[in-house]
Amino acid sequence: MLQGALAGLAAGGLYAVLAVCLTLMSRLVRVVNFSQAATGMFGGFVAVWLVTETGVPIWLGSVLGVLLAGVLSGVIGWIAATWLSEADTTTRSAMTVGPLLLLISLSFILFGNKPQPFASIISGPAFTVGGVVISQVTLVTVSLAIVVAVAVRILLTRTAIGTRLRALSERPTTAELLGIPSKPLSIAVWVVTGVISAIAIVVVAPTQSNDAISLAMLIVPAAAAALLGGFKRLDLAVVGGLVLGVLSGLVAQIDEVSLIRNFLPFLFIVVLLLWTQRKEVWDAAR
């Protein structure tokens, strides 16, 4: 039981990192980025290709793949900042469905639709507590999630650039009228979240089902986790990711309910939505 729950924790850490990125994007650049996991997936696949086909060392391949993911994310961000700077969240988010479709299909063309032979960067058990093994991957992803959330929080509240980013997210027009360059800053947010997502995916991919669809669709549990924090709170996004991971680890243990496992993120989303919208809200803008 406990072993199963902890086995889910590695995936939970991945959900949490992606959820933090989604939350950050939603807060700072007004978008639910459906291609958040897809860019990471693509970067990861390129890393695998570099390692297996050109023989570069794993670390170098991984770095290049992660950087490529950042660039891809930046390109999508550039599109959003150039043509959709005044558009509402729905339109901006809808636009990211295009890259999601494009990146999955492109990876089918380039790498086929089979799982990729990801080489583990990190493997093996980290330590054992009371007979339960914690793997290094679990340790790394969970700490990555927490570190990213904390670091982002510090960046936003303690630094000049964080102040500017918050100003931009609250009143983008006013911020621009004060000479705060919105376009470079928001593209930077896209690049950074793209890089962070890709790192998490490259670390976890060897231990997960890692075909293009599975990896790109990590966006679903990530969005579920981010929804716990209302796409606003980083801490709840981390908690949401970890809880979701542990839950699916648990459910996988019990054969009778294994069908539910597929629906777990979906049910998580539904329950959260029903809870958050008990009261009627009138959006001033619409």
Give the nearest distance from C-beta 133 to another protein in angstroms: 27
Give the nearest distance from C-beta 79 to another protein in angstroms: 6
Give the nearest distance from C-beta 268 to another protein in angstroms: 8
Residues binding another protein (CB under 8 A): 32, 34, 79, 82-84, 87, 89-91, 93-95, 97-106, 108-109, 160, 163-164, 166-167, 170-171, 173-182, 213, 217, 219-220, 223-224, 227, 259, 262-263, 265-266, 269-270, 273-274, 276-277, 279-283, 286
Q: Residue 132: phi, psi to the nearest 5? A: -110, 130
Buried b (16+ CB within 10 A) or exposed e, 79-117: bbbeebbeeeeeebbebbeebbeebbeebeeebeeeebe
| Residue among 143 and 163 whose Cβ is closer to another protein | 163
| Residue among 144 and 218 whose Cβ is closer to another protein | 218
| Residue among 7 and 104 whose Cβ is closer to another protein | 104
Give the nearest distance from C-beta 32 to another protein in angstroms: 5
| Residue among 119 and 220 whose Cβ is closer to another protein | 220
Sign of the four-CA dihedral 8, 11, 15, 16: positive
3-state secondary structure labels for all residues of 159-180: CHHHHHHHHHHHCHHHHHHCCC
